[in-house]
Amino acid sequence: MVKDFTFLLQEKWRIASDRPGSGNAKNIGSVRDVSALIEGSGPFVAYGQQVFDDYWTNYLTEDMARAIESDVPYRNLGEYWKWRNRVVQAS
């Protein structure tokens, strides 16, 4: 018998990871720490939903980048901020 469930409901951007859920697809991964899931304290919480949306809208896998003859612009939030700063400066 299974008992003592904890149910949680969070907006995706609050529990999203900066890494895909699988290695070969653009699936948005989630944090794995149970307390972070319950509290909704993933890495994007410090920056807000707009950064989450921008990050995952512009995220490219190796296959996606190769298809458009480009490099992968970033693989994590640290690389994202470097990429984003270059894009803003070039505008």
What is the residue extent of each domain of the chain?
A: 12-90
Q: Which amino acid is at 64?
A: M
What is the bridge-based pairing of β-strands 28-30 and 16-20? antiparallel
Q: Of all helices (H) and strands (E), which one includes residue 28?
A: strand 28-30
pLDDT attached to residue 24: 64
Res. 86 pLDDT band, cuts 50 70 90: confident
The reported pTM is 0.86
Q: What is the token pair recorded at 5?
A: 């469930």
What is the per-residue pLDDT across 10-59, written as a single tens digit (0 to 9) for each?
999 999 999 998 766 679 999 999 999 999 999 999 999 999 999 999 99
**Number of other CB atoms surrounding residue 61 within 10 Å:** 17
